[in-house]
Structure 1
Amino acid sequence: MGRFFYSYKMDINSNQIGNYATRFIEVLLDYSPKLISAILILFVGLYAIRLINRIIRKVMIKRNLDPTLTKFLADILLWALRVLLFITFISKLGIETSSFVAILGAMGLAVGLSLQGSLSNFAGGMLIILFKPFKVGDTIEAQGVIATVLEIQIFVTKMLTGNNQTVFVPNGALSNGTIINYSMQGERRADLTFAVSYDSDIKKAKDILLDILNKNPKVLKMPAPEVFVKNLTTSSVEFAVRPWATNANYGAVFSETLENCKTALDEAGIAIQPFTLQK
């Protein structure tokens, strides 16, 4: 009796396994065209995406687009094409894509709400890249920082201050605030003020200050440097001293003008008055 039951059980298991195997082969044969076509679409699509990405990069480089903008647009296109390829791949496998797209939309909305600040910086980065208020290598003043731009990233701008400190400024605040670009025009004017006593010879003092500017080879001849009476205070006559220099020589011209004018006025016996607060 036991042997008979065991033999009957083995026959049932063998029949079930045979049925399962047959059913599996039938499903595999029915499904294999979809699977093969989906795999072909995946590999061909990946190759096509890489090819399209390379072509787009070359076209943007030939059009002399900003390198940061070129990389950003190419990356956006790359991921957009990958998402479309993935949706095509799973739809070819017979998976319903409408619910999948709805899930992606809900996830995108949730991520967008939680990253509002980052999206603001992202939008600011796009505005900076597109309208170019400054570029890499420019010296700018923004958000209380004066520094040289090292890199314009999507969310932040990386800058280097004069004392070698690296500063990261969010692009959202940067694009919405005032930006002073000291490098855009190529030339820059130093605005200095010297105050002398009322007992001084004004014409002599003016000639001395102007002579100092004309003798400095780093001071540009055009636009011509200027020296004129700026103000008459209760204790002094104020001269505006305005030399022009290239951006590279601006710092040197500023400091040399201060030093040379002070030395020349002292040698001429013209007293420089200390600045006092006006009430």
Structure 2
Amino acid sequence: MTVQTDYVHQLTLSTEAAIPGIFAGFIVFLIFLAGAVVFRRLLRRLINRMNPAKRPLVNLAGDTVYYGLVTVGGITGLGTMGVNVSALIAGLGLSGFALGFALRDAVSNLIAGILILLYQPFQYGDTLTVAGDTGVVTDINFRYTVLAGQNGTHIHVPNGTMFSNSVTVTPKP
């Protein structure tokens, strides 16, 4: 019974020693979470005063910052608690590399969509000719620029194509 009593005593001591670190880790995470929530609310107030064409871009940036702060806060909180996060960080780095490589076409279309929304080389209602297709711009999102072609057809042109090919823009009258 002495071995079992010693084990329980050691467990109690180590738990008591870990409580301040666990508490501090939760506080660190909550600080990052509060910062992310405050940033998101301020951005949403600002977004209502912006040009409607720029809102999706600012919304994407806001979501990226929010989730980035929550992730960094979680990892920092775990590190403060005493958890060895070096393997977690290495795993996130390798996972990010693998996902980036696997999704390179989608990411290139996303970045091209962001640049199109940022620089606005054409507007809704303009007639575009790109990669042999001609149509009127009806929608611009992060993946595609949608053109209304002849006979009611819809042409979804990947935004990466918009950057790798020449585009002829005829402004709406």
Shorter-chain TM-score above 0.5 = yes
The corresponding residue for 1:176 is 164
Provide runs of 4+ in structure 1 moved above 4 Å. Answer: none
Alignment of 1:263-274 (within 5 A): none
Alignment of 1:108-127 (within 5 A): 108-127=96-115
Higher relative contact order (CA 8 A, sep 6+): 2
What CA distance in whole angstroms lies between the structure 1 residues aligned with 2:153 and 2:5?
74
**Which stretch shows the higher mean deviation, 26-35 or 100-109?**
100-109
What CA distance in whole angstroms lies between the structure 1 residues aligned with 2:141 and 2:62?
14
| AA in 2 matched with 1:105 | G
How many corresponding residue pairs? 172
CA pair 38-137 structure 1, distance change in 2 beyond 3 A: farther
- Aligned match for 2:117, one of 129, 136, 144: 129
The corresponding residue for 2:145 is 157
What CA distance in whole angstroms lies between the structure 1 residues aligned with 2:147 and 2:81?
49
| AA in 2 matched with 1:69 | L
| AA in 2 matched with 1:41 | V
The corresponding residue for 1:101 is 89
- Helix, strand or coil at the partner of 2:139: strand
CA pair 111-118 structure 1, distance change in 2 beyond 3 A: same
Please report the TM-score for the alignment, with normalisation by the length of structure 2.
Answer: 0.82
- Helix, strand or coil at the partner of 1:66: helix
The corresponding residue for 1:71 is 59
What CA distance in whole angstroms lies between the structure 2 residues aligned with 1:159 and 1:50?
37
* C-alpha contact (below 8 Å) 2:127/2:136 kept by paired residues: yes
| Percent identity (aligned) | 23
- Aligned match for 1:25, one of 7, 12, 31: 12
Higher helix content, 1 or 2: 2
Deviation at 1:162, TM superposition (A): 4.4
RMSD: 2.4
What CA distance in whole angstroms lies between the structure 2 residues aligned with 1:38 and 1:32?
10
